[in-house]
């Protein structure tokens, strides 16, 4: 296969509906066979940059200046959100779509499908439905699909962002095998350097729309360690858990749940939560693999949907949480769901949450932006600021640290600890072990069997 | 992949009653079409006939019953009048119209319900694309839209719960609007994914495409013969009640 390269020279990009450049004065050259990790602060322009590398800039909505050249013959791109990577009803159709586009004859299509599924380690029946796959399996199928084009450049934008530990390993192993076996050039966006340290050779840090650091990974990790830390990069071995504050003696109970049985939807499997009494100042973590029921338990506790069985009671409130009027609910139990985009009710960030709460979770300088236009990590912080502004008795958080850089992560932890110190109480679901160790007074593991 | 009868043949055969009943409004033609057609389909594609779910039967039952009641009460009065109240009139004529419309619905819906699970949307659309009945982009976009139906259904649930979490109204309009915005944003990102995978490439192969074989054509021919035969019998026995005036 021909070896090709990508280059940017004094290149800038602006969204036509915004007044400032999102990416500024970028000069970068990626040689064939390189393995590049792109990282940097949440909202710094990483995703926009890799989309440009993948050739996904739409001239109708952006203006580019400077020079961008790509000699890659076939570029494969896999984004963050598993559901957005899957286009067809079955695994075979999904992979075949790319193979049929890239091939000249049908025998080659079958060969490409077989090879792609094998290289990404997809062991599911190819005729099974893509809708029933777990998040990790969907990402693995998306990577297999990308490989069916036999690309010379593979671009991955946080492919493990929404996955639990085992699923993350599945995706990492698939990418490692592909890159080692095929010599494909790899460009990968990721906050967790530790996860990919074995594979990538070069690190590019994008901060505030510019390339702040660019060099060989090992060298940068030692020589520029403090610069990385200052930029909020998750430097392996740098962040350590600090113990959560102890609950005050005699703290009053705020939430009591007995024999709770919840389910994601009608007909879905039942999830049982051990009896729970949550006190003022207390924080409880729900942990477990993807699909173990953390979200459905949180939603039942938060009154977003009725439980299948058992009893949930907020102290001093007569109704069950799902019967509380919508207007009154967020003051008692305020939920921040995994994708807060579904719940934004205003046209600008400044209308969505007060300035001091936004600043407290490290969300600055986005006042006039539409909430939907924020990066994934920023959206979560905005939703958290909105929830905290209501001073709820209990805060229910679903994966609050997805997509956060080290700075915003610490801002978020500090604000949550303040809230607990003021007498609030938290139930949160997370795959983030550092957060669990730093915030939870108690850990409940759901769905031990996978 | 094991392929039974061709999706185009199954769909074509199951569409015959719909083409037959436009000619005459009587309760006999639909039955004269339905019964032999199911027999023909069973003979040519026994594995393609799959019992529909209970929900599908219930939906069909509701459709038949509501059409029957509406025809009974509101069809133009003819012959003996049995009951009259305001606009509602039950007469010999309305009984005939009710019987005809109920059997029509059953004849149109049942064959389609029996083959619904066996028809491959991909094979069907691939055939349309390869035969240039529709552009390839249209066929691909339709397939992607089919996969998105359950995703959009879950968007509605998510929006309802997220709005409740924020103390906002869960009015159907507000929920639909937010879900629409999110669906459009997702569609934009998915079209990027599709584009990087060669969605707009002018020439592509379709491995889901299969040419129609002899038995597929024979099934269609027999199904058409059943339809024509039913119309002939109705006309010669004097039951014909022309629907086209």
Same fold yes or no, A6-230 and A253-445: yes
| The pair of three-digit structure tokens given for residue B22, joined into one six-digit string | 């436009």
Return all residues near A163 (Cβ < 8 A) that are at least 6 apart.
A135, A136, A139, A171, A290, A431
Q: Residue written as tokens 């024979």?
A: B218
Please indicate whether, in this complex, the C-beta atoms of B205 and A79 are within 8 angstroms of each other.
Answer: no
- Pick from B178, B196, B208: CB nearest A75: B196
Please indicate whether, in this complex, the C-beta atoms of A79 and B166 are within 8 angstroms of each other.
Answer: no
Asked if residue B222 has pLDDT above 70, the reply is yes
Closest chain A CA to residue B189: A84
CA–CA separation, B85 vs B88, rounded Å? Answer: 5
Alpha-carbon gap: B18 to the closest alpha carbon of chain A (Å)? 29
**Measuring CA to CA, which residue among A301, A331, A325 is closest to residue A391?**
A331
**Measuring CA to CA, which residue among B104, B190, B213 is closest to residue A78?**
B190
Tell whether the torsion through CA atoms of A256, A260, A266 and A269 is positive or negative. positive
pLDDT at A40: 92
pLDDT tens for A259-288 read 999 987 777 788 899 999 999 999 999 998
Alpha-carbon gap: A416 to the closest alpha carbon of chain B (Å)? 18
CA–CA separation, A388 vs A384, rounded Å? Answer: 6
Domain ranges of chain B: 7-119+210-236, 124-196
pLDDT tens for A323-344 read 999 999 999 999 999 888 898 8
Please indicate whether, in this complex, the C-beta atoms of B197 and A88 are within 8 angstroms of each other.
Answer: no
- Chain B positions touching A102 (Cβ under 8 A) are 198
pLDDT level of residue A203 (50, 70, 90 thresholds): very high
Cβ density class A362-399: b for 16+ within 10 Å, e for less: bbeebeebebeebbbbbbbbbbbbbbbbbebbbbbbbb
Does the beta carbon of B86 lie under 8 angstroms from any beta carbon of chain A?
no
Closest chain B CA to residue A329: B167
- Pick from A84, A303, A343: CB nearest B166: A343
Does the beta carbon of B186 lie under 8 angstroms from any beta carbon of chain A?
yes
Does the beta carbon of B1 lie under 8 angstroms from any beta carbon of chain A?
yes
Does the beta carbon of B209 lie under 8 angstroms from any beta carbon of chain A?
no
pLDDT tens for A131-172 read 878 777 888 899 899 889 888 899 999 988 877 777 788 889
- Residue B190 φ/ψ, nearest 5 degrees: -70, -30
Does the beta carbon of B193 lie under 8 angstroms from any beta carbon of chain A?
yes
- Chain A positions touching B201 (Cβ under 8 A) are 101
pLDDT tens for B180-204 read 988 888 888 888 788 888 887 878 8
Q: Residue written as tokens 């996978």?
A: A450
- Chain A positions touching B195 (Cβ under 8 A) are 56
- Chain B positions touching A88 (Cβ under 8 A) are 122, 143-144, 147
- Chain A positions touching B175 (Cβ under 8 A) are none
Alpha-carbon gap: B181 to the closest alpha carbon of chain A (Å)? 9
Tally of CB atoms within 10 A around A237:
8
As a whole number of Å, the end-to-end CA separation of chain B is 49
The one-character DSSP state at A62 is E
Does the beta carbon of B165 lie under 8 angstroms from any beta carbon of chain A?
yes
Stronger pLDDT, A19 or A222, i.e. the higher one: A222
The CATH number that domain A6-230 falls under is 3.40.50.300
Alpha-carbon gap: A406 to the closest alpha carbon of chain B (Å)? 27
Q: B residues 97-156 near A, CB within 8 Å?
A: 121-122, 140, 143-144, 146-147, 150-151, 155
CA–CA separation, A116 vs A181, rounded Å? Answer: 12
Asked if residue A291 has pLDDT above 70, the reply is yes
Alpha-carbon gap: A242 to the closest alpha carbon of chain B (Å)? 30
Check: CB of residue A334 under 8 Å from CB of residue A385. no
Check: CB of residue B20 under 8 Å from CB of residue B29. yes
Asked if residue A450 has pLDDT above 50, the reply is no
Asked if residue A1 has pLDDT above 50, the reply is no
CA–CA separation, B25 vs B21, rounded Å? Answer: 7
Average pLDDT over residues A167-186: 87
- Pick from A87, A96, A326: CB nearest B168: A326
CA–CA separation, A238 vs A232, rounded Å? Answer: 11
- Pick from A55, A265, A372: CB nearest B185: A372
Alpha-carbon gap: A326 to the closest alpha carbon of chain B (Å)? 5
Average pLDDT over residues A296-318: 94
pLDDT at B140: 86
Does the beta carbon of B208 lie under 8 angstroms from any beta carbon of chain A?
yes
In this structure, chain A runs to a length of: 450
Check: CB of residue A77 under 8 Å from CB of residue B195. no
pLDDT at A2: 47
CA–CA separation, B223 vs A44, rounded Å? Answer: 63
CA–CA separation, A388 vs A386, rounded Å? Answer: 6
Asked if residue A111 has pLDDT above 70, the reply is yes
Return all residues near A336 (Cβ < 8 A) that are at least 6 apart.
A380, A383, A384, A387, A395, A396, A397, A398, A400, B165
CB pairs under 8 A between A and B: 134
CA–CA separation, A140 vs B124, rounded Å? Answer: 28
Closest chain A CA to residue B176: A342
The one-character DSSP state at A371 is G
Check: CB of residue A427 under 8 Å from CB of residue A274. no
Asked if residue B2 has pLDDT above 80, the reply is no
Return all residues near B171 (Cβ < 8 A) that are at least 6 apart.
none
Q: What is the arrangement of strands in the sheet containing A394-398, beginning at the earlier edge strand? A: A333-336, A394-398, A425-429, A283-287, A442-445
Domain ranges of chain A: 6-230, 253-445
Q: What is the arrangement of strands in the sheet containing A210-216, beginning at the earlier edge strand? A: A75-78, A153-157, A185-189, A35-39, A202-207, A210-216
pLDDT level of residue A353 (50, 70, 90 thresholds): very high
In this structure, chain B runs to a length of: 245
User: Which architecture does CATH list for A253-445?
Assistant: 3-Layer(aba) Sandwich (3.40)
- Pick from A75, A88, A100: CB nearest B143: A88
Does the beta carbon of B167 lie under 8 angstroms from any beta carbon of chain A?
yes
**Three-class SS of chain B:** CCCCCCHHHHHHHHCHHHHHCCCECCCHHHHHHHHHHHHHHHHHCHHHCCCCCHHHHHHHHHHHHHHHHHHHHHCCCCCCEEEEECCEEEEHHHHHHHHHHHHHHHHHHHHHHHHHHHCCHHHHHHHHHHCCCCCHHHHHHHHHHHHHHHHHHHHHHHHHHHHHHCCCCCCHHHHHHHHHHHHHHHHHHHHHHHHHCCCCCCCCCCCCCCCCCHHHHHHHHHHHHHHHHHHHHHHHCCCCCECCC
Please indicate whether, in this complex, the C-beta atoms of A98 and B178 are within 8 angstroms of each other.
Answer: no
pLDDT level of residue A4 (50, 70, 90 thresholds): low
CA–CA separation, A90 vs A341, rounded Å? Answer: 28
- Chain B positions touching A106 (Cβ under 8 A) are 205, 207
Please indicate whether, in this complex, the C-beta atoms of A93 and B181 are within 8 angstroms of each other.
Answer: no
pLDDT tens for A67-84 read 988 877 788 899 888 888
The β-bridge relationship of strands A202-207 and A210-216 is antiparallel
Tally of CB atoms within 10 A around A308:
16
Closest chain B CA to residue A76: B196
**CA distance to A59, A270, A303, B167, per residue, from A266 (Å):** 44, 10, 16, 24
- The DSSP code sequence of A267-279 is TSPPEEE--EEEE
- Pick from B146, B155, B181: CB nearest A89: B146
- Chain A positions touching B155 (Cβ under 8 A) are 342
Stronger pLDDT, B2 or A369, i.e. the higher one: A369
Q: Residue written as tokens 């200046």?
A: A65
| The pair of three-digit structure tokens given for residue B158, joined into one six-digit string | 């998510």
Check: CB of residue A142 under 8 Å from CB of residue A82. yes
pLDDT level of residue B75 (50, 70, 90 thresholds): confident
Chain centroid offset of residue A449 CA? 24
Average pLDDT over residues A414-418: 96
**Can you point out the beta strands (E) in A162-218?**
185-189, 202-207, 210-216
Please indicate whether, in this complex, the C-beta atoms of A265 and B157 are within 8 angstroms of each other.
Answer: yes
pLDDT at B244: 61
Q: In terms of pTM, does the model score above 0.80? A: no
pLDDT at A448: 62
Check: CB of residue A286 under 8 Å from CB of residue A260. no
pLDDT at A237: 85
């Amino acid at each position: 296969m021909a070896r090709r390269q990508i280059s940017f020279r004094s290149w800038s990009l602006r969204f036509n509906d915004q007044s400032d450049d999102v990416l500024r004065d970028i000069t970068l050259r990626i040689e064939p066979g390189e393995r590049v990790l792109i990282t940097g602060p949440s909202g710094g322009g990483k995703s926009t940059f890799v989309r440009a590398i993948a050739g996904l800039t739409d001239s109708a909505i952006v203006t580019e200046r400077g020079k961008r050249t790509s000699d890659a013959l076939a570029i494969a791109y896999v984004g963050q959100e598993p559901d957005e990577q899957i286009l067809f009803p079955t695994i075979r159709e999904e992979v075949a779509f790319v193979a049929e586009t890239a091939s000249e004859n049908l025998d080659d299509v079958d060969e490409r499908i077989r090879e792609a599924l094998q290289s990404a380690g997809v062991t599911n029946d190819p005729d099974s439905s893509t809708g029933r796959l777990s998040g990790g399996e969907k990402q693995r199928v998306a990577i297999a699909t990308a490989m069916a084009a036999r690309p010379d450049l593979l671009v991955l934008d946080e492919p493990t962002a929404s996955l639990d530990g085992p699923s993350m390993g599945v995706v990492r192993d698939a990418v490692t095998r592909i890159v080692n076996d095929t010599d494909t050039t790899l460009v990968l966006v990721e906050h967790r350097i530790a996860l990919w340290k074995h594979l990538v050779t070069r690190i590019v840090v994008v901060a505030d729309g510019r390339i702040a650091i660019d060099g060989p990974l090992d060298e940068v990790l030692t020589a520029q360690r403090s610069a990385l830390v200052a930029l909020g990069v998750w430097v392996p071995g740098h962040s350590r858990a600090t113990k959560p504050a102890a609950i005050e003696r005699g703290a009053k109970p705020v939430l009591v749940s007995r024999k709770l049985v919840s389910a994601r939807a009608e007909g879905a499997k039942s999830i049982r939560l051990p009896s729970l009494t949550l006190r003022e100042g207390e924080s409880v973590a729900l942990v477990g693999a993807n699909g173990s029921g953390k979200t459905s338990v949180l939603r039942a506790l938060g009154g977003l949907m009725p439980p299948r069985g058992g009893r949930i009671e907020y102290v001093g409130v007569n109704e069950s949480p799902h019967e509380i009027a919508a207007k009154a609910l967020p003051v008692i139990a305020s939920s921040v769901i995994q994708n807060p985009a579904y719940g934004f009710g205003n046209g600008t960030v400044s209308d969505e949450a007060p300035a001091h709460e936004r600043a407290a979770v490290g969300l600055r300088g986005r006042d006039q932006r539409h909430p939907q236009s924020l990066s994934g990590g920023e959206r979560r912080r905005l939703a958290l600021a909105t929830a905290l502004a209501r001073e709820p008795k209990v805060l229910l958080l679903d994966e609050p640290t997805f997509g956060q850089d080290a700075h915003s992560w610490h801002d978020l932890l500090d604000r949550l600890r303040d809230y607990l110190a003021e007498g609030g109480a938290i139930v949160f679901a997370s795959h983030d072990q550092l957060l669990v160790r730093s915030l939870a007074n108690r850990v409940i593991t759901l769905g031990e069997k996978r | 992949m094991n392929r039974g009868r061709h999706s185009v043949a199954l769909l074509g055969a199951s569409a015959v009653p719909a083409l037959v009943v436009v000619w005459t409004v009587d309760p006999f033609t639909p039955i004269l079409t339905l019964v032999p057609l199911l027999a023909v389909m069973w003979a040519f594609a026994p594995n393609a006939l799959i019992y529909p779910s209970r929900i599908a039967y219930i939906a069909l039952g509701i459709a038949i019953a509501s059409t029957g009641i509406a025809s009974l009460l509101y069809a133009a009065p003819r012959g003996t009048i049995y009951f009259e109240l305001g606009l509602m009139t039950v007469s010999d004529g309305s009984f005939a119209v009710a019987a005809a419309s109920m059997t029509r619905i059953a004849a149109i819906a049942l064959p389609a319900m029996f083959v619904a699970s066996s028809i491959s949307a991909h094979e069907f659309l691939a055939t349309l694309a390869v035969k240039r009945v529709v552009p390839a982009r249209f066929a691909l976009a339709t397939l992607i839209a089919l996969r998105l139906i359950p995703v959009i259904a879950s968007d509605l649930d998510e929006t309802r719960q997220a709005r409740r979490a924020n103390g906002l109204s869960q009015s159907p309009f507000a929920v639909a609007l937010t879900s629409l915005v999110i669906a459009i944003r997702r569609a934009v990102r998915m079209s990027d994914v599709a584009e990087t995978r060669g969605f707009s490439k002018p020439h592509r192969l379709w491995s889901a495409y299969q040419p129609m074989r002899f038995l597929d054509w024979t099934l269609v021919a027999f199904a058409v013969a059943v339809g024509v035969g039913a119309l002939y019998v109705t006309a010669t026995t004097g039951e014909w009640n022309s629907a086209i005036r």
